[in-house]
Amino acid sequence: WMVMRAAVSGRGFIARNLTIENTAGPSKHQAVALRTDSDLSVYYGCSFLGNQDTLYAHSLRQFYRECQIAGTIDFVFGDAIAVVQSCILLARLPLSSQKNSVTAQGRRDPNQNTGFSFQFCNFSADAGLAMSIDSIPTYLGRPWKKYSRTVIMQSYIGDLVRPEGWLEWNGNFALKTLYYGEYMNNGPGSPTANRVKWPGYHVIGSADAARFTVDNFIGGNLWLPSTGVKYSSGLT
């Protein structure tokens, strides 16, 4: 059972300067603002606002640029091939017993080309959470499925993110099979010295990071120019 505000299917959907909000509070559990399985879709200057499970990037190729995505638990989740570029990921105050997790990527098979790539983004707390970051843990992500894959690169990570960075889903589930990477991030939450020691976690170099750029990960140079949306194709 899922409650959502909007759903997008079909090829080539483009949204500009659109706000979608699910106003169900944190006590209502899953409350999706947008569910999208539109291939070659673009979201520019949009805001997706909610609490748990705000943005359901369900499947296929997706590009987000200069958007704001706000929520609490797993607020960017799904199994799309998505690049999120120059966006603000805004963690909100959950229930007192809960832990925030920005992502919950759902790759099920090692042969899938799916995953989430965040580049030039800002991971911060909203005003409500900022007063409680010492008592409310926030993490970059946790593995929804066995081969969960998320890369965060060249982004600002605020002090809301705990030093270990990433959160288990359930015990040792997927810790050997997931792929979580960080590359050239900055900000008080970005140091990797005290990150999790899971086999699937990596501090990556430029060669690996290049696999998750707009050009290489979603083939953006082949289809984004026709949308008129600005983007950075590589690591610079």
Catalytic residues: 74
Query: What is the dihedral sign for C-alpha 42, 213, 113, 66?
Result: negative
Query: What is the dihedral sign for C-alpha 30, 34, 36, 40?
Result: negative
Residue 180 pairs in a beta bridge with 150, 201
Question: Residue 72: which of 134, 1, 128 has the closest Cα?
Answer: 128
Residue 157 pairs in a beta bridge with 123
Which residues lie closer than 8 Å to 172 by C-beta, 6 or more apart? Answer: none
